[in-house]
Amino acid sequence: MEVFMKKLVLVLVVALTAMMMVFAAGAKEAPKTDEVTLRWAYWGGEARIARSEAAIKIFEAQNPGVKVHQEPSGGAGDHFVKVDTQVAAGAGPDIINMGGNFPDYIPGGPKGHLALDLFPYAEKGIINLDVIDPGAISYATVKGALYGLSTGANMPALVYNKSLIERVGAPLPPVSSTYPEFRQYLIDLQKRLPSGVYAMQDIGVLPTSSTPFGYWTGYNGTPMYVAAENRTYVTPADAKRYLDLFADYRALKVIPPADIAASYAESNADTSMLVAGKAAIAFLWTNQLDGYQRAMVDEIDLIELPGAAERNSLWQTQSQLYTINKDSKHKDLAAKFINFLVNSPDAAAVLGNDRGNSVSSIARSVGASNVNEQKALSYMAVAGPHTMPENDHVPNDTEYNSTLYLIYQRVAFGQISTEQGGREIVDLINRMIAK
pLDDT surpassing 50 at residue 65: yes
pLDDT surpassing 60 at residue 14: no
With bands split at pLDDT 50, 70 and 90, how would you rate the model's confidence at 2?
Answer: very low
**Rounded Cα distance, 371 and 54, in Å:** 20
Q: What pLDDT does residue 183 have?
A: 98
pLDDT surpassing 80 at residue 283: yes
Q: What pLDDT does residue 254 have?
A: 98
Tens-place pLDDT, residues 121-168: 999 999 999 999 888 998 999 999 999 999 998 999 999 999 999 999
On average, the pLDDT of the chain sits at 91
Q: What pLDDT does residue 20 have?
A: 41
Average pLDDT, stretch 376-400? Answer: 90
Which of 270, 278, 276, 282 lies closest to 205 in space, CA to CA? Answer: 282
- Count of CB atoms situated within 10 Å of the CB of 101: 22
Convert 296-318 to b/e letters by CB count within 10 Å (16 or more is b): bebebbbbbbbbbbeeebbbbbb
- What is each CA distance from 239 to 63, 285, 415, in whole angstroms? 52, 23, 17
Lowest mean pLDDT among 19-23, 160-164, 359-363: 19-23
pLDDT surpassing 50 at residue 27: no
pLDDT surpassing 80 at residue 206: yes
Counts of helices then strands in the chain (DSSP H, E): 18, 13
- Nearest-Å Rg of the Cα atoms of the chain is 26
Q: What pLDDT does residue 33 have?
A: 54
In the chain, the percentage of residues whose pLDDT exceeds 70 is: 92
With bands split at pLDDT 50, 70 and 90, how would you rate the model's confidence at 3?
Answer: very low
Tens-place pLDDT, residues 217-235: 999 999 999 999 999 999 9
Q: What is the DSSP string of 120-171?
A: HHHHTTSS--TTB-HHHHHHTEETTEE--EES-EE-EEEEEEHHHHHHTTPP
Dihedral, 203, 205, 209, 212 alpha carbons, nearest 10: 10
Kindly list the structural domains of the chain, giving each domain's residue range(s) and its CATH number in brackets, ordered by start. Answer: 33-151+319-369 (3.40.190.10), 154-316+388-434 (3.40.190.10)
Please, are residues 256 and 265 in contact by the beta-carbon 8 Å criterion? no
Average pLDDT, stretch 198-208? Answer: 94
pLDDT surpassing 60 at residue 39: yes
Q: What is the DSSP string of 62-104?
A: HSTTEEEEEEEESSHHHHHHHHHHHHHTT---SEEEE-TTGGG
**Rounded Cα distance, 48 and 288, in Å:** 9
Lowest mean pLDDT among 132-146, 169-183, 235-249: 132-146
Average pLDDT, stretch 375-381? Answer: 87
Q: What pLDDT does residue 19 have?
A: 42
pLDDT surpassing 90 at residue 368: no
pLDDT surpassing 50 at residue 10: no
Residue 383 class from Cβ within 10 Å (0-12 exposed, 13-18 middle, 19+ buried)? buried
Q: Which residue has the higher pLDDT, 332 or 354?
A: 332
Which of 135, 142, 60 lies closest to 109 in space, CA to CA? Answer: 142
Q: What pLDDT does residue 366 have?
A: 82
Q: What pLDDT does residue 420 have?
A: 98
Helix 236-252 and helix 418-434, axial crossing angle in degrees, nearest 10: 130
pLDDT surpassing 70 at residue 23: no
pLDDT surpassing 80 at residue 428: yes
